[in-house]
Amino acid sequence: MEWSRRAFMKGSGLALFSASFGGTPLFLSRAADAANNPLAHSRRKVLVTIFQRGAMDGLMAVTPFNDPALAEARPNLFMHLTDPKNELTDLDGRFALHPSFADLAPLYKEGRLAIVHGVGSPNKTRSHFDAQDYMENGTPGVKGTRTGWLNRAVGLLGHEGTPFRSVALTRALPRAFYGKEPSIAVDDLRSFGIQVPNNPQAAEQVEEGFEAMYARSAKRLVQRVSEESFDAIELLEKIGVRDYKPAEGAKYPNTALGRRLQQIALLVKSDVGLEVAFTETGGWDTHVQQGTTTGSFQRRADEMSKSIAAFWTDLGTYQDDVVLMTMTEFGRTVHQNGSLGTDHGRGSCLFVLGNNVDGGKIHGNVPEKLVKDALEDRRDLPVTTDFRSVFADVAGKHLNIDRSHDIAMFPGWEGERFKVMT
Amino acid sequence: MILRFALAVLCCGALLAVAPAEAGLKLPYKAEGLSKEQAAAYLLERFAFGARPGEVEKVAKMGPEKWLAQQLKGNLPDAALEKRLEAFPALKMTQEKMAEVYVNNGRIRRIVAKAGLIDPAKTPRKEMNEKISAYRKEHGLRPYGMLSNQELKGQKLMRAVYSENQLTEVLTDFWFNHFNVTTRDGGARSRTLSYERDAIRPNVLGNFRTILGATAKHPAMLYYLDNAQSRMAPPSEREPAKPEPKKEMATGEMGMDGGMDGEMMGGEMAKAPEKAPAKAQTPPRRKRKYGLNENYARELMELHTLGVDGGYTQRDVTEVARVLTGWAAAPYGNGRKNIEKQMANGNENNILQGDFVFRKSWHDDKAKVVLGEKFPAGGGLEEGERVLDMLTSHPSTARFISTKLARRFVNDAPSDDLVDQMAKTFTKTDGDIAAVMATLAQSRVFWAEAKKRSKMKSPFELAVSSLRALEADVKNPQPMMRWFDRMGEPLYGYLPPTGFPDYAESWANSGTLIARMNFGIHLATGRINGVTLKRLPEDSSGLTTEEALAMYSKLLLPAQDTSAIVSEVKQTIPADAERKEVQVISMLLGSPEFQYR
C-alpha cells in the first residue's frame, strides 16, 4: 500500500484548506443566487434516453401477430399468439409484445407507455455507423454537423444548469452530447472521483490536495472546471452513490444497463439538476440465430425491459418529472436470413414512457400485410415516421422547448411534431 | 565556436538545395528572455511530445536551431522504435493483405461454413465459436478488431513515445486530425492504419498538395465521407443496372471499440446492404443508387482547405462533387486484376493508382464551373487534380492551414500577424509545410508564448509527455487506451470530420479533468499494466519530500521556475508518508502546471 492513510491523515497542510470547502456545493449556492434561475433547488423535468445500438428488430419486439405475410417471411422467427409457449402480450388485437418485454406491459396498459412503430430515418443508409451518427447528430444525411441533438436541446432550455444537467452513463461522450453545453460522460458514477488503487481513504486526502492546488491555480479554466468537478464529487458522495438502495420493489438486473439506469434514478431523485440523461445498450445486431423465446434477442429484451421497469418503480413520486425514450438506428429485414437471423433494415419501433405520454397505444403506421410490395425496397419495414418528429415532440413538450426552436434542435428539418405526448 | 558554427553550416550545405527552409534557422528566444535550456525545453514541449531525461541539456548543447532543423527533415535513424514496431505485423501489409488476414465474425462464419465445418443455422453457438477460433488459428487469420484496436492504436502510442523524429509524430497527430477519419466508421475502419501510414505520415513535412491528394485518394477517406458512393449513372445506366461486385465492402464490427462499450454493437456493420442470404428470396432488384454525394466535396473545402468562410458557395460544393465523381477505392482480388489487365490493353475506362481508382464510367464528364473557373467537358481524372491544385493555391487555404498550425503550436487564438507571416510562406513555397513550420518557429510570437505555457495538452499529449519524462518502458500499449477514452480523446474515435477541437475548453470538463488526475495516480502507483517507469525505482528510494520534488519537478517541468508548484505539492505530502516519490509524481502529473505546455 503506497498511499498510507495514516500518513495522509497526519498531513498538516490539508486541514487548512478543508474548512473552506464542504457545506453546500458551490455550484448550487451559486445557482440559487442567480436571479435568472427560478429552478434552482427545485425539481426539474428530465428526459432519459436509451440508445439500442446494433438495430433492434422492431417486428419482433412489437409483432403484428396475425400477419400471414410476416409468418411466411419468417418461418423460424414468427411468433404466433396462439402458441402458449410464446406468451405474447396482445396489446391491441394486432400487435403483441415479445414475452421478454412483458415487464413493460403493465405500463402500457396503464397508459403510460406509448409505442411508435415504423419509425426511422429518412436517410436510407444501412450502415450502423452512419445511421447512429445521423440519429445522434439529428441531421440525417449530413455528416458534418458538429453538435448532437441532445446538446442542442440542452442549449434551448433557457435557464442555467448544474454540472449534472446533462449526464451520459457511457464510456465515452456520445455523439448526441457533442457540443458547447457541458456534459458529464462516465461509465459508472461510483468511479467519478479521485481513485487511489486499493486505498479509498488515501483518495480523499489526495483529492483535497488536488482541490487546494487547483483552487489556487492561475490557470483560470482548470481552476473553474476543477471547482465544479470537486463540487460534483462531493455531491455524489452526499447523495450516497456508493450505497444507494433503490426503492422497494425496484429490482434492477445485475447488468450494465441495470446499473446505469439505477444511477440515473438516483440522480433524478437527488435533485442535482439533471435534465437530460443518455445511456446505451448493445448487441441488437441479430444476424445469426436471433431466436424467439430464447436467444440473443430475448436476452437483450429481457435486460432492457427489467431495467426500465425497475427504473420506473424506483422513481416513485418522481415519475411525474421523467420521460424515458428509447431509440435504435434502424430496423431489420422482414425476411429472415440463411443464418436464422435478420439483416439490416429500415423501420423499427421505439418506446416512450411517462405520465404525460399518450400511452397505451401503438402510434405510427405499419402496412396491413408485410408483403413485398408493401415493403421499403421490397425488403424492409417502411419508415413511415421520421425519428426527428418523435424526438422533437418528446423533448419539446417534456422539456418545454418551443416549437419555434425545433429547427435549432434539428437543423434542416421543417416537419411537424409527431403527437406522442399528451 | 565560430569554427564549429561554420562547420555546421557547411555540413548542412549539401541539403540546402533541396530544403531551403531548413537552412539558417534563427530562433529569437534570447530576445524573449529565454536561456538556451529554456528554449530547448520549450521546443521539446511544442515540437515534440515532451522531453526525456537529459534531453533538454542535449538539445541545448547541440543548439535548438540544429535540433529543429533535424526535426524538420524527419529522417533520424529510429532503430529502437523499429524494434518495438515489430509487434504490429499489419504495418508491413498492404491494405488488401490486411483485409485478408483480419476478418470479422460475419465473414469468418461464412468462410468456416463454406468449408463445411459449421452450419450457422444449426450449430450451437459455443461449438460454432470453438470451430471458428480453431480455424482462425490454423489459417493465421486474426480477429478484425485487432487491426484497429491493438495495432493501429498501439503503434501510434509507441511512435509518439519512442520516435526520434518527434516532430513527424506531432504533425502526424495534427494532420490526421485535420484530415480526420475514424475507425468507428465501417468503411474507414480497416483502412485507417493504411491511411495514416501511407497518406498521412510520409507527407507531414512535405508539400500540402501532396498530403491533400493522398487523403483525397485514400479509400479510408473515400468511404468515410462517401465519395466512393458518389457517382453518375454511366451512359449505359438507362438499361437495368448490373449489381456492382462489392464483396470487399467493410463489414466491420463495432465491438471493442475505444469509444463504445465492448459489446455495444455485437455484430456486423456494412455500408452496403449485406449480400442477400443465399436462399431466402429471389434476389431483390437491388437498384444501384446513382447520385451525387456532396459530403466529401463540402468538407474538402470547409475543413481541409478553404475554411468555412473561405469563399465558396453551395454551387461550388455541388460542382466539386461532380468533378470528383468516379474517384473511388480500388477493388481487391480479381476486380483489381481485371483493371490491371484492361489498362495493359490500353483501355482507359479505369485508372488505377495504388489503392485508388478513377472510374470513368462513374464520372460526370459534362462541363463545370468551380470557384469561377471553367472546366470544359471531358476533363476526366485531371479535372479533380486541377481542383486540388486550385484549392492549394487559394489564399484562403494558406490562411486556414496557417491558423490551424498556429493554434496547435502557439496558442488557442493565434495573432493575425503570425498567421499572415505563415500564410505568406505557404503561398510563396506553394504549400511547403516544413517552411511554414520554420516561419512559425522563427517568429517572436511563438517564443513569447514560452513563459505563458497557455496551451492545454490534449490527453494524448499529457500521457505521452508523462511516459517520456519518466522513461517508461511500454511493453503493452493496450491498457493505456482506456485512459485516452476516459480523458476524452478516444484514439481514432472522433466521429465528425472536424477532428477533435484544438482548444482548452474542449479538453477540460468535469469528468475529464478528474480522469487526468487519476491517470497520473495510476501511472505513478504502477497500476497501468504493461507500463513500467525506469525513473521510478520499484522499492522505496528513501527520498525525502524535498529531494523527490527536486528530482521529479526537474524531469516533468524542465528548465522552468517550479518553486510555486513545488511548494504546492509539498503541502500535500505528509511528513511520514511512505514512498514519497510515488506521491510526488502523482501530484505533479495531476497538477495544473503539467496539464499545459
Whole-angstrom distance, CA of residue B425 vs CA of residue B428? 5
How close, in Å, is residue B184 to chain A by CA atoms?
7
Half-sphere exposure of A45 (CA within 13 A, CB side): 17
Question: What angle (nearest 5°) sits at the alpha carbon of residue B338, between those of residues B337 and B343?
Answer: 100
- Rounded Cα distance between A330 and A347, Å, is 6
With respect to residue B322, please indicate whether it lies within any of the assigned structural domains.
no
- State yes or no: pLDDT of B426 exceeds 90: yes
> What local confidence, expressed as pLDDT, does residue B306 receive?
97
Say what the pLDDT of residue B538 is.
Answer: 83
Cβ of A344 within 8 Å of Cβ of B518? The answer is no
CA end-to-end distance (rounded Å), chain A: 58
Contacts of B570 (CB under 8 A, 6+ apart): A13, B545, B546, B549
Mutation to test the A interface, candidates B126, B256, B260, B269, most A Cβ within 10 Å: B269
Cβ count near A88 (within 10 Å): 23
More confident residue, B251 or B365: B365
Domain end position, chosen among B183, B205, B227: B205
Q: What is the pLDDT of residue B273?
A: 38
- Is residue B237 very low, low, confident or very high in pLDDT (cuts 50, 70, 90)? low
pLDDT of B207 > 90? The answer is: yes
ipTM of the prediction: 0.84
- Interval A288-343: pLDDT, tens: 899 999 999 999 999 999 999 999 999 999 999 999 999 999 999 999 998 899 99
Closest alpha carbon within chain B to A282:
B264
Residue A292 CB: number of other CB atoms within 10 A?
21
Judged by CB atoms closer than 8 Å, whether chains meet at B299 and A144 is answered as yes
pLDDT at B248 over 80: no
- Which residues of chain B make contact with A335, given a CB cutoff of 8 A? 277, 280-281
Residue B4 has pLDDT above 70, yes or no: no
Does the pLDDT value for residue B262 go beyond 90?
Answer: no
Which of these ranges, A72-76, A195-199, B214-218, B357-361, has the smallest mean pLDDT? A195-199
Report CA torsion sign: A142, A143, A146, A152. Answer: positive
How many contacts (CB atoms, under 8 Å) link A and B?
A: 251
Q: Is there a domain that residue B248 lies in?
A: no
B494 in any annotated domain: yes
Q: Which of B205, B222, B246 represents a domain boundary (last residue)? A: B205
**Facing B513 at nearest CB: one of A4, A126, A226:** A226
What average pLDDT does range B525-545 have in this prediction?
91
A-chain CB neighbours of B587 within 8 Å are: 206, 209-210, 213
For B537, the domain range is 456-597
Distance CA B538, CA B526 (A): 9
- pLDDT confidence of A32, banded at 50, 70, 90? very low
pLDDT band at A162 (very low <50, low <70, confident <90, very high): confident
Domain count, chain B: 2
Q: Map residue B29 onto helix, strand or coil.
A: coil
Report the chain A residue with the minimal C-alpha distance to residue B521: A196
B366-385 tens-digit pLDDT: 999 999 999 999 999 999 99
Mark which residues 280-319 of A lie under 8 Å from B by CB. 280, 282-289, 296
- For residue range B23-44, list pLDDT tens digits in order: 589 999 999 999 999 999 999 9
Q: Which residue of A has its CA nearest to B226?
A: A143
Instruction: Please indicate if any CB of chain B lies within 8 Å of the CB of A233.
Output: yes
Q: Is the pLDDT of residue A38 over 60?
A: no
Q: Does A18 touch chain B (CB under 8 A)?
A: no
Q: Cα–Cα distance between B271 and A257 in angstroms, integer?
A: 28
Contacts of B488 in chain A (CB under 8 A): 172-173
- Residue B4 in domain: no
- The pLDDT tens digits for B386-425 are 999 999 999 999 999 999 999 999 999 999 999 999 999 9
Is the CB of A206 less than 8 angstroms away from the CB of B508?
no
Give the model confidence (pLDDT) of B470-529 as tens digits.
999 999 999 999 999 999 999 999 988 999 999 898 898 878 999 999 999 999 999 999
Tell me, what's the pLDDT at B234? 57
Amino acid at A334: V
What is the structure's pLDDT at B235?
57
**Average pLDDT, integer, range A346-352:** 98
In tens, the pLDDT along B74-88 reads 999 999 999 999 999
Inspect the interface and report whether the beta carbons of A11 and B575 lie closer than 8 Å: yes
Nearest to B411 by CA among B474, B349, B310, B504: B504
Q: Which of B179, B205, B231 is the last residue of a domain?
A: B205
Mean of pLDDT over chain B: 88
Backbone angles phi, psi at B307, to 5 degrees: 90, 160
Q: Which residues pair with B350 in a beta bridge?
A: B359
Task: Examine the pLDDT at B282 and tell me if it is beyond 60.
Answer: no
Query: Residue B89 has what pLDDT?
Result: 97
Q: What residue ranges define each of the domains in chain A, with the CATH number in brackets? A: 35-190+251-409 (3.40.720), 193-240 (no CATH)
Over residues A168-179, the mean pLDDT reads: 91
C-alpha cell at B72: 524538420
- Residue at A348: amino acid letter: S
Q: Is residue B388 part of a domain?
A: no
Q: Is the pLDDT of residue A156 over 50?
A: yes
pLDDT band at B576 (very low <50, low <70, confident <90, very high): confident
Indicate if the alpha-carbon torsion angle A112, A117, A121, A122 is positive or negative: negative
Cell readout for B9 is 553550416
